[in-house]
Amino acid sequence: MCHCLECQKRTGSTFGAQSRWPRDHVTIAGRATEYVRIADSGNGITFHFCPKCGSTVYYLLNDIPDVIAVAVGAFADPSFPAPKFSVYESRKHPWTGVPADAEHFE
């Protein structure tokens, strides 16, 4: 889970949740609209949105080219596993929860 301020603005939520997969294990089908931004780390991220509803579907991290990040909400599965990592916690809203057994950073 990411609690960085730019993720909050991009998602319109208090955090962005992603699931990362080896890029060669994912097949992309259909159209997408792209948006590129520079992350807090200085690395570029290319977000791919559904051109009909605007939801983030997946994104590519320039500094990790062999990985694809898929927005957890795109799975529409309430039983999706809880996050294992939480970053930018210094920016999280105090009322949000993060699983205790996740690795916590900043």
Exposed, middle or buried: residue 69 (CB in 10 Å: 0-12, 13-18, 19+)? buried
pLDDT band at 87; cut points 50, 70, 90: confident
What predicted TM-score, i.e. pTM, was given to this entire model? 0.79
Q: In this predicted model, what pLDDT tens digit does every residue of 15-72 receive, in sequence order?
A: 778 899 999 999 999 999 999 988 777 889 999 999 999 888 999 999 999 999 998 8
Per the model's pLDDT, the better-predicted residue between 92 and 6 turns out to be 92
72 vs 43: CA distance, rounded Å: 21
